[in-house]
Amino acid sequence: MVEKSKLEQSETQRQLRHSHQTLLHQYTVTACFADYIEAHNHFQRGGPALRVMAAW
């Protein structure tokens, strides 16, 4: 009985950790994309966008 609940607990923790990593990945991609758009708009206005583009 105790072993089963331990197993369920570790499974829950694994799922939480996985969903956290997925959220983190989505946030990173979104943030990079936002930087890209910002750099693109800045470049369109004639500003130096090389620094942000180099991060890509």
Residue 27's pLDDT is what? 76
Residue 7's pLDDT band (boundaries 50, 70, 90)? confident
Question: What's the mean pLDDT when you consider all of the chain?
Answer: 73
User: Exposed, middle or buried by CB within 10 Å (0-12, 13-18, 19+), for 19?
Assistant: exposed
Please calculate the CA angle 35-37-41 and round it to the nearest 5 degrees. Answer: 115
pLDDT at 56: 47
pLDDT tens-digit readout, 13-39: 888 787 878 877 777 778 878 888 887
Under the banding of pLDDT at 50, 70 and 90, the label for residue 2 is low
Domain that holds residue 44: 2-55
- How confident is the model at residue 13, as a pLDDT? 84
Number of domains in the chain: 1
